[in-house]
Structure 1
């Protein structure tokens, strides 16, 4: 960067260089008018200098996010049907044991560069807080209209349905600098989750039970490095994952009448689930281990190369939040009550429809339509960073 001369002849001190993220860690999102954009679920990539080409996205993570969001949609579509099919309920249990952990770990991994820098705080507000407010209000209004239930209040302190993840991501992201200071972040996060499982007084505000019980997966993502994902993508892990998933389905089938599926939601304490308090920490630790094992098996089968759905990985938050309206509409309006849907062929049909719908909701046209709510620029609401303004003036003079 060249220096400019002041009118009095003194030379201006050079501006500090733009902060570059560590290797493998994404930085803040570039402006919309730049060609490169690294948007993940609540996380974004770094804007490259104009003189350098943008860093290429890792296809593995986009593929993993897309496949995880498809599993989320399938699980939500199975919920109204699973009560009459033990096999479907077993599959539901297995999917629920790892689909959100797999998604949360990636969210934590791409949050490693987060600090209190103004541009990253702005992205946290526009990419997480604003969509939370918009969709929390929208879901409640939709329920009032579609179901005729006016008793559900609009409360930003009590996330309803899918919006809990945005609330959790906002809190997790804000605490990221703290976890970077802790000597043993993952054990501490596990202790926090265990304590939450025996604390019914936490209540429903901000869905803190889920925030705290899912916290270890986010912290695990924060401490992971690229080579850790490479371990899960080895050929021997991919081979071993087949019997592991087969065993998980068998255990899930056995556990259907014996285990409360609410444990997989991580939204209740042990006392609220009607078991002794000491069961809570045991279940948190056991489910954490099971979820990690199945998540590693899931990652091992995620393609590493670019595929037809790789580009959809940037729109997973759109698919996640928008598909909930269709699932709820089906519940309110009796779409899942048809007898044919409660047969094996009907369950397969519902699964395919759910996968197709959430895929379409992740596409670029849908993202363009709903970007005003999901990724608003909101430049009018924020002050311009003084250092960035000075850099722009310096570039204009060169």
Structure 2
């Protein structure tokens, strides 16, 4: 038991932790426990190419079952952990089994934020978080079908883009006054609204969903503003919540995520946590962050594995994210909250390639790059360095992006 490591959760962070534990030289027993019937798989493609039917499960699976067997990892799929007993140092599962641990990694990820309005449980109201969700949504993909998307964030717009290409009549309802308002500048929001409308997607902003109509099956979405939007099915994408219940019940410190240090250690030195479910310190931004991204899950998986293997490799990186919609790849570096100047490189009105640089008192804190891989790559370096940039040099496309720092 002293050497046993149990990993609760089977997502990106967990899969990375398994690989990194072996790479760090840990040779003891590892148990990987997940509540889905699948080995760890990538989630971002679910709302993109997987939903579109362009790729299958073999393209989203992170590692095949053979990898875990060859790595000496015991896997328990379709198994839910119900309790962590820190005093006895064991975990309990929903089917009554008990497993002792020496060290523990909590990588429970996150779940969809559900909408609580009348009719929320009608047939045809869907969320998108896992493979089963995708399969349920795909069953409605028939040309001419009417879909309402509740939420104009990444997931909602990605689903809208896929559905529009499949001949679905799509309406997006967003509470804010613009899409992706939580993460991008109005310049980027308005560009994406224009693109979606050109593809036939109807976008309604400033709309509060008050309920779903229908007897057994959803037939319309109603708003607090008195409008009704007929539909054959609905996809709700209004954010996610961290899965912290096990940590809370175990008495670990939880504040907008399981609180970890730069080594992914929780308030219990024998327990680490990684991925969407954590709140970690970030020196670049000078505050704690809870991130919902593949990059964060992978890097925290590496850090947690090092800690569990008796090494210390601090995690302190600038976050990055991406979204694929139509032929557009939006790549985001950093967090733009608190910026006081947005500088555009390229012309979003004239083409489909530009970047927005966010400055706070002259310091680069984030970049949104649309079909601009060079700006994205340079932004990673400059944001990490907290570079002070001249707005005129950013906007001047005669200056190579590698030289905008002067």
Same fold (TM over 0.5): no
The structure carrying a bigger strand percent of its residues is 2
User: TM bucket by the smaller chain?
Assistant: under 0.3
Q: TM-score, normalised by structure 2?
A: 0.25
Q: TM-score, normalised by structure 1?
A: 0.25
